[in-house]
Structure 1
Amino acid sequence: MNFLQTLKKPMVSVAVVCVLLACIVTLQNMLLPPKTYVDGGMEYTHYNNYLIFKQSFFHLIENKDLYQQYPQEYWDLYKYSPTFSLFMGLLAWMPDFLGLLIWNLLNVLVLFFAFWKLPFENNRKTLFALLFLVLELLTSIQNSQSNGLIAGLILFAYLQLERGKVELAVLCVVLTMFIKLFGVCAFVLFLCYPGKIRAFLYALGWTVLLAALPLLVISYEQMQRVYKSWILLLQNDPPNADGWVGTWFGMEAQTTMLLGGSILFCLPLIRYKHFREKKFKLLLLASTLIWIVIFNHKAESPTYIIAVCGVAIWYFTQNFKLENTILLLLVFMFTVVASTDLFPGKWQENVIIPFALKPLSCVLVWLKITWDLLSYPNFPACEKT
């Protein structure tokens, strides 16, 4: 009876659902037949991204170049840091099913527990916010991606800052950087808290320590070669042609739009007098989570779980406003649902993808958040806290 009563608790119930989803997706990926990524190409598993991460560890300890094509093992390139490949050694020795299951659970549960700890008004709002994430989280873990983990780490950084644990907050952000570099943008949150010099020193220390970790398994000379290869890959990694900037303004507008987006992102920082107010910090957190996706030139569909987290935080930490609800529904329809099998395939091929509607609704929300930050606290949804 005690066990059944425990299951009735909202947090436990949602956690159980998250675990079941990770297990089902893992089993699905293991059972689905191989697929090709180009017509007439080699066949690969449905958990190809996990194999990229896993094999990078073996390439690291075998002194191979992590950033070359290995078509006999997986499709595409490994693009994360050498440190991340070392961490994947914790799973690489396991059978694929077990390693993939733990990887998916890590992405789901880190995000879930961080999200549950956010200061929503009540458990009901927390529950609705989590339900809003479910489909997009499924899209991410079906692709064996790391985006749930990245979003969770950024949220934990915010939570640790609220507790005054600067060193742990910095560690969370630095860890995201060693997965995907855009995590560095989360350091903007530290402007709202005391101890900025201490945070900088911790950031420097954690970065050096994590960057040097591959020395546990490779020589200093090999580590230099690996990092040079990684930097070269990042420098020559072309933007996605089907992103919203390229679709709507042309590829030549990438730099201009990034500059303009960066200025708009930083503009609310002039409201520094409100840095200590919880509502303002939550809006800034939401803005950051969306910005690092919509202005990321390599963002793919599974990356949008990070942006959708920002949308959920923005909406469910405010009072009801009709315009906000309309924007939320647009995100749910065109960002969340439109990339799933629930949406007609012809609509995806002929409307959603060609017109870049998946990111567009998030862009509209981000512009609204920017306006909310600039007009803070003069809009009704933000009482001072």
Structure 2
Amino acid sequence: MNTQAPRLNFLQRTGQKFSSIPVRYMYIFFLLMAAVIACVSWGSSQDMAQWTRYNNYVIFKQSFFRLLHYQDIYTILPEKHYDVYKYSPSFSMWMGLFAWLPDLPGLILFNLLNMVVLLLALRTLPLSKERLNVFLFFILIETMISLTSSQTNVLITGLLILAWHFLEKDKPWWATLFIVLTFYIKIFGIVALALCLLYPSRWRSAIATICWMVVLGLMPLLVISPDQLLFLYKSWGNLLSQDHSASVGVSLYGWWHTWFGFTMNKNMFVLIGAALFCLPLLRFKMWNQPLFRLHILASVLLWIVIFNHKGESPTYIIAMAGVAIWYFAQERKGINLVLLLLALVCTSFSSTDLIFPYKLARTYVEPYAVKAVFCSLIWFKLIFDLMTDAARPQLHK
């Protein structure tokens, strides 16, 4: 027996197994999955007496027609859908790309848009084929959850990674366009502007951000009057302020609140989180290290989920992509692997019947924000590593 034979841990063996799969096959699989999920969501809704299983897509679609008819898009439309539209007037107008189509082809194209943007973004990451394949398997469940919910989280994940990529390529206009797009979908995406500080083009990024904020914010003027647009922005602001005070979400705050009875002013809690997020940015000498910049991206992806008062299960594709970037871009370490696997089990598998029975998930996993636990712990460790020499400056592809 050769005792000198290398001993490969589980992830290494898995990586070697997946490395033989051409990456293009993985991409094809994810695209087919997006289309199939859309078909299943539409097909399973045909016998429903009211509403659909792709309710979020219906909300987005109807917001476009309500925008054109000068209606308040931030009120519920019970004859069409449940829940309220919570994105910007600009996103309502962009949904016109799909709204004119029947639900099935529109939903398929909407899911494919989400998936194509994410896959294009992942191609830009400095990862080997082996690590990229394992990365894709790692985020598979969360991708399915988000697409099944007909949400935009897969799209947002891709846009934020693309923003990092274009900053690396010294193309701040493209980078800030993608960041501002996420803001007009979900406002927490604006946190990614912190990435611009890490690059010499920061002043160009500031100018580009202002221009994109104005251009994209005023885009609905193509179909409505200035007075109506002002009214909608006021209505959006009122909705968000009321929504903020009424929810803790599947978030870090929700975890501490449900487990330990923690209470605190939510605005102050977010400010403390923002201060912790900014601490590594004070290490100016590290800004020229590729791994440092990539880990700041991972911190952004985690932060906008765990500090989001409306964090919910489908948003965790964003956080788990951050976890994957944190782990797969650096040298393998035992404690990191343990945290990675715990995050996979308690965040992704907790939303399936693979480990947690449905009753257990409904009784404990969801009400007690279990999905937020290890994503939050990984974020705190990431901040600690960025503040110390625990994070090595080399990228490990």
- Report the TM range for the smaller structure's normalisation: over 0.9
Structure 1 residue 196 corresponds to structure 2 residue 202? yes
Structure 1 residue 261 corresponds to structure 2 residue 273? yes
Structure 1 residue 100 corresponds to structure 2 residue 111? no
2:66 to 52, 59, 63: 59
Distance 2:42 2:363 in 1: 31
Cα distance, 1:310 vs. partner?
Answer: 0.2
The within-5 A match list for 1:138-287 is: 138-237=144-243, 238-240=246-248, 243-248=254-259, 249-252=261-264, 254-287=266-299
Q: Deviations over 1:207-258 (max 9, x none)?
A: 1011111111111111111111111111111223663243234444534432
Distance 1:34 1:302 in 2: 23
Distance 1:25 1:251 in 2: 39
Distance 2:308 2:381 in 1: 19
Change (3 A) 1:96 1:264: same
2:30 to 8, 18, 27: 18
Give the corresponding residue for 1:3: none
- Structure 2 residue matching 1:369: 3-state secondary structure: helix
The within-5 A match list for 1:59-98 is: 59-98=66-105
Give the corresponding residue for 2:366: 353
Distance 2:213 2:43 in 1: 39
Give the corresponding residue for 1:5: none
Q: Contact 2:330 / 2:394 at 8 angstroms: preserved in 1?
A: no
Q: Structure 2: 5+ residue runs without aligned partners?
A: 1-19
Structure 1 residue 307 corresponds to structure 2 residue 326? no
Give the corresponding residue for 1:372: 385
- Structure 1 residue matching 2:125: 3-state secondary structure: coil
For 1:157, the aligned partner's letter is A
Say how many residue pairs are matched. Answer: 370
Q: Contact 2:385 / 2:391 at 8 angstroms: preserved in 1?
A: no
Q: Contact 2:170 / 2:201 at 8 angstroms: preserved in 1?
A: no
Distance 1:255 1:182 in 2: 13
For 2:129, the aligned partner's letter is N
Distance 2:378 2:164 in 1: 21
Distance 1:69 1:265 in 2: 35
Distance 2:258 2:265 in 1: 10
Change (3 A) 1:65 1:205: same
Distance 1:336 1:218 in 2: 42
- CA RMSD after TM alignment: 1.8
For 1:362, the aligned partner's letter is C
1:329 to 341, 358, 366: 341
Q: Contact 1:246 / 1:253 at 8 angstroms: preserved in 2?
A: no
Change (3 A) 1:77 1:32: same
Identity of aligned residues (%): 43
Q: Deviations over 1:136-158 (max 9, x none)?
A: 00000000000000110000000
Q: Structure 1: 5+ residue runs without aligned partners?
A: 1-7, 37-41
Cα distance, 1:285 vs. partner?
Answer: 0.6
Cα distance, 1:347 vs. partner?
Answer: 2.2
Q: So what's the TM-score if we normalise by structure 2?
A: 0.89
Q: Contact 1:35 / 1:46 at 8 angstroms: preserved in 2?
A: no
Q: Contact 2:290 / 2:393 at 8 angstroms: preserved in 1?
A: no
Cα distance, 1:384 vs. partner?
Answer: 7.5
The within-5 A match list for 1:109-124 is: 109-120=116-127, 122-124=128-130
Instruction: Choose 347-356 or 97-106, whichever is displaced more.
Output: 347-356
Distance 1:112 1:263 in 2: 32
Cα distance, 1:280 vs. partner?
Answer: 0.3
Instruction: Choose 151-160 or 248-257, whichever is displaced more.
Output: 248-257
Q: So what's the TM-score if we normalise by structure 1?
A: 0.92
Distance 2:155 2:331 in 1: 29
